[in-house]
Amino acid sequence: MNRSRIVDIQVHVVELPLRKTWQISLYAANRRAHAVVRLQTEDGIVGYGEAAPSPAFMGETGYTIETVLNRYLREAALGENLFDIARIHERMDSSIDGNSAAKAAIDIAVHDAMGKSLGLPVYRLLGGKVRPRMALSWVVGLQSFDQAVEEARRKVAEGYRVIKIKVGQALADDVRLIRTLREELGDAVPIRLDANQGFTPREALALLDQVRDCPVEAFEQPVRKWDLAGLRFVRERSGAVPIMADESASTLQDACNVLRNEGADLFNIKVGKVGGLYRACQIAALVEAAGLKATAGSNLEVSIGEAASVHFVASQKALSLPNDMLLGSALHSANLVSEPLSVIEGHVLCPERPGLGVDVDEGLFGHRS
């Protein structure tokens, strides 16, 4: 432990192509810039972190992370002891506001190194394991009606426990897809809606009105992220459909404000969105204390970021809903690790090796194509 000072931090931006255009109500993309952090301690332990935010969702990209890390965050973390994670966050926050994805990439690398240094999987550092096996949800992006129905059907056959569909661009199309999927998939497969802020409060309610007879598991981020009054307006009128906050709960303080305003029944806690594992666990505790539930979404990180999410969900009681935390590897045609986490009948197991439990392929660094 006394040789656990951080002596080197590097960031590499790697652009990875997506298998097909990924579209949600906020944006469309064909590739993503992933920022990979490689951190080393004085006794030679190496930890890796990853963040892959989309510019329209978070105001950050792999390239802003590179600049912010090189100009501000490296200095905040260099020379600190790995195990002083609260102090590292304090120093990062006082060096630059916001930039949660950049901070998450460092936080994940610190946790990976802590685990390797102690010979323990990361979940052990977060409280231990409350669930060994985690159910996954599949997310159907905005695409043609026929493609969306075919993809949902195929993913249910593969074993995914929840089908989440992206809505929020054209209300009539959304209604048609929800009604068709309900008929195709039956009531045993819950459907979760995610509008990514695409509706006004009244449009969101109009959608729910038109699918009143279809069981909807949850309605994620129906309105603009800053519209907490609108979120509450929808929640008070959504009947049996629980409202989930995602973009509205982008930080620990945001999550607290959503709870104070009684704006959500459920939370989507993304490790890469909220500033890393340390912050994600704080939010999970807040959600647990409120007697509510959460899921872990994804910024489409590949297996380094995904492994961080898996350790998070394995260790946090509030994270009891099926998660789309493994979406990134499935949507990309390349990865950053030699052996991606595998999905077995719609579930993932928590890695047991020290640290995150994935082997990073450093040969990929420097590829910007």
| Smallest distance, Mg ion to C-beta of residue 268, A | 5
Comparing CB distances to Mg ion, the nearer of 9 and 24 is 24
DSSP E strands in the chain: the ranges are 6-23, 28-41, 46-51, 133-135, 137-140, 162-166, 191-194, 216-220, 243-245, 266-268, 293-295, 347-349
Is residue 324 near Mg ion by the rule CB under 5 A? Answer: no
Cα→Cα distances 37→23, 90, 181, Å? 27, 19, 40
Name the closest residue to Mg ion (Cβ): 246
Beta strands 133-135; 347-349: pairing state = antiparallel
Comparing CB distances to Mg ion, the nearer of 61 and 137 is 137
Q: Give the integer Cα–Cα distance in Å for 104 and 115.
A: 16
| Smallest distance, Mg ion to C-beta of residue 246, A | 4
Is residue 112 near Mg ion by the rule CB under 5 A? Answer: no
Is residue 254 near Mg ion by the rule CB under 5 A? Answer: no
Residue 287 has, within 13 A of its CA and on its CB side, a CA count of 32
Is residue 194 near Mg ion by the rule CB under 5 A? Answer: yes
| Smallest distance, Mg ion to C-beta of residue 42, A | 40
| Smallest distance, Mg ion to C-beta of residue 270, A | 8
| Smallest distance, Mg ion to C-beta of residue 247, A | 7
Comparing CB distances to Mg ion, the nearer of 57 and 123 is 57
Neighbouring-strand partners of residue 121 = 355
Between residue 199 and residue 218, which ones bind Mg ion under the rule CB under 5 A?
none
Comparing CB distances to Mg ion, the nearer of 47 and 230 is 230
Is residue 246 near Mg ion by the rule CB under 5 A? Answer: yes
Please answer whether residues 34 and 301 qualify as being in contact, where contact means their C-beta atoms are separated by less than 8 angstroms. Answer: yes
| Smallest distance, Mg ion to C-beta of residue 94, A | 30
Q: Which stretch binds Mg ion (CB under 5 A): 13-21, 80-88, 126-134, 193-201?
A: 193-201
CA 101 to chain centre: 10
Comparing CB distances to Mg ion, the nearer of 33 and 266 is 266
Size of site (CB under 5 A) for Mg ion: 3
Give the three-class secondary structure for 47: strand
Q: Which stretch binds Mg ion (CB under 5 A): 76-84, 116-124, 173-181, 192-200?
A: 192-200
| Smallest distance, Mg ion to C-beta of residue 158, A | 21
Comparing CB distances to Mg ion, the nearer of 24 and 304 is 24
Residue by residue, DSSP assigns 180-200 as HHHHHH-TTS-EEEE-TT-S-
Give the three-class secondary structure for 51: strand
Comparing CB distances to Mg ion, the nearer of 116 and 161 is 161
Residue by residue, DSSP assigns 107-164 as HHHHHHHHHHHHT-BHHHHTT--S-SEEEBEEEE-S--HHHHHHHHHHHHHHT-SEEE
Binding region for Mg ion (CB under 5 A) = 194, 220, 246
